[in-house]
Structure 1
């Protein structure tokens, strides 16, 4: 991941509902998510393979970046079906109802 993908401002940030990568709306619109195709807190992931937090959050194989600890929202049923058909295991990171 280049440093260009790290958000330069804390306003208007969004988190990927699949992996919780945090980027600006414009970055998602332009580049999408590097790991896959509303957040409370975030963490920086600089060395994914050495980080206990990355292992605990199941991010150890993801790209370096800023990740939300929790996201609020759900993916459309059609997206969940497509992911399942492709063998992609989806674990919701939505903790807003807990």
Structure 2
């Protein structure tokens, strides 16, 4: 049985894709390096930071959702991405943000919800 991501995204590109552990946006490592994460850059500071990209993104994710109009999409609401940028999002990511990021979120009064669906609402 083939991988559903490879059925959608050419295999030559899929091995370079990573998903943000905080918002689940999918981009290439090069995109995270050149522009950071359009949703989480203020907190994660991924731009031009390869070590941070490795610790705050993952190549291990399941499913892909295209979010074209986040504010009106029921899928975006379900995935908690309705206030995020348009783009491709993972349904579930494997991994957690580093402890320093969790501490930063807590200091801002933001509750961290892992994107691996272990914290179902």
TM-score band w.r.t. shorter chain? 0.7 to 0.9
2:111 aligned partner = 89
Moved over 2 A (4+): 7-11
- Which structure dedicates a bigger proportion of its chain to helix? 2
In the superposition, the TM-score normalised over structure 2's length comes to 0.68
1:26 aligned partner = 30
Task: Find the partner of 2:84 among 62, 66, 76.
Answer: 62
CA deviations on 1:7-38 (whole Å, 9 max, x unpaired) are 98323100000000000011111111000122
5+ residue gaps in structure 2? 1-8, 42-59
The CA deviation at 1:95 is: 4.2
CA RMSD of aligned residues (A): 1.9
In the superposition, the TM-score normalised over structure 1's length comes to 0.82
**Which structure ranks higher in relative contact order (CA pairs < 8 Å, sequence separation ≥ 6)?**
1
